[in-house]
Amino acid sequence: MTMNPLLAGSALGTPLPRVLRPQRALPADTVRPTRAEINLAALRHNLRVVARQAAGAEVYCVLKADGYGHGSKGVARTLERAGAHGIAVALLEEAIELRDAGIRAPILVMGGTFGRSWGEVLRHDLVPVLHDLGQLDELADEVRHSGSPAAPIHVKIDSGMGRLGVAPRDVPRLAEALRFAPEVRLDGLMTHFACADTRDVESLERQLALFEEATRELARQGIVPRVRHAANSAATLALPAARLDLVRPGIAIFGVSPFDAPVSELRPAMRIRTELVALREIAIGGGVGYGATWRAARPSRVATLPMGYADGLSRGLSNRGSVLVRGRRAPIVGAVSMDMTMVDVTDLPGAAVGDECVVLGAQSGPLGSDSIGAEELAGLLGTVPWEILTSVSRRVPRFYREP
Contacts 24+ apart (CB under 8 A), 170-178: 170/133, 171/214, 171/217, 171/218, 172/217, 172/221, 173/133, 174/133, 174/218, 175/217, 175/218, 175/220, 175/221, 175/223, 176/221, 177/133, 177/136, 177/137, 178/136, 178/218, 178/221, 178/223
Instruction: For 363, list phi and psi in degrees, rounded to 5.
Output: -150, 140
Distance CA 115, CA 126 (A): 15
Count of residues interacting with ligand PLP (CB under 6 A): 13
Q: Which is nearer to ligand PLP, 51 or 62 (CB)?
A: 62
- The one among 71, 74, 250, 365 contacting ligand PLP by CB under 6 A: 250
CB nearer ligand PLP, residue 380 or residue 384: 384
Taking Cα atoms as reference points, which of 200, 194, 230, 238 lies closest to residue 212?
Answer: 230
Nearest residue to ligand PLP, by Cβ distance, number only? 250
Distance CA 213, CA 172 (A): 11
Interaction between residue 62 and ligand PLP (CB under 6 A): yes
Q: How far is the CB of 364 from ligand PLP (least distance, A)?
A: 29
Site string for ligand PLP, 150-189 (x = CB under 6 A): ----------------------------------------
Cα 367 to Cα 32, 299, 326: the distances in Å are 25, 21, 6
Number of C-beta neighbours around residue 189 at 10 A: 27
Helices vs strands, H then E, count in the chain: 12, 20
The minimum distance between CB 113 and ligand PLP, in angstroms, equals: 13
Which of 249, 306, 308, 361 touches ligand PLP by CB under 6 A? 249
207 forms part of the interface with ligand PLP (CB under 6 A): no
Closer Cβ to ligand PLP, 228 or 248, answer by number: 248
Least distance in Å: CB of 110 to ligand PLP?
5
Of 384, 403, 402, 401, which is closest to residue 68 (Cα–Cα)? 384
Active site residue 156: no
Buried b (16+ CB within 10 A) or exposed e, 48-68: ebbbebbeebbbbbbbbbbbb
60 is catalytic: no
Per DSSP, helices labelled H in 303-348 are none
Residue 323 contacts residue 234 (beta carbons within 8 Å):
no
Single out the residue of 378, 376, 372 nearest to residue 391, CA to CA.
Answer: 378
Kindly report the number of other CB atoms within 10 A of residue 123's CB atom: 13
Query: Contacting ligand PLP (CB under 6 A), which of 154, 192, 267, 328?
Result: 192
CB closer to ligand PLP out of 35 and 192: 192
In the complex, the smallest distance separating the C-beta of residue 190 from ligand PLP, rounded to whole angstroms, is 7
Out of 154, 248, 273, 329, which residue is the one contacting ligand PLP (CB under 6 A)? 248
Min dist CB 233 to ligand PLP, Å, is 3
Rounded to the nearest whole angstrom, what is the least distance from the CB of residue 62 to ligand PLP in the complex?
4
Q: How far is the CB of 374 from ligand PLP (least distance, A)?
A: 12
Verify binding: residue 258, ligand PLP, rule CB under 6 A. yes
φ, ψ of residue 46 to 5 degrees: the values are: -65, -35
Q: Which of 210, 125, 141, 135 is nearest to 169 (CA)?
A: 210
Closer to ligand PLP by Cβ: residue 232 or 304: 232
Site string for ligand PLP, 227-246 (x = CB under 6 A): -----xxx------------
Instruction: By CB under 6 A, tell whether 110 contacts ligand PLP.
Output: yes
Interaction between residue 112 and ligand PLP (CB under 6 A):
no
CB nearer to ligand PLP: pick between 126 and 234: 234
Catalytic residue among 60, 64, 68, 73: 64
| Residue 62 or 360 having the CB closest to ligand PLP | 62
Catalytic residues: 64, 290
**Positions in the binding site for ligand PLP (CB under 6 A):** 62, 64, 110, 192, 232-234, 248-252, 258
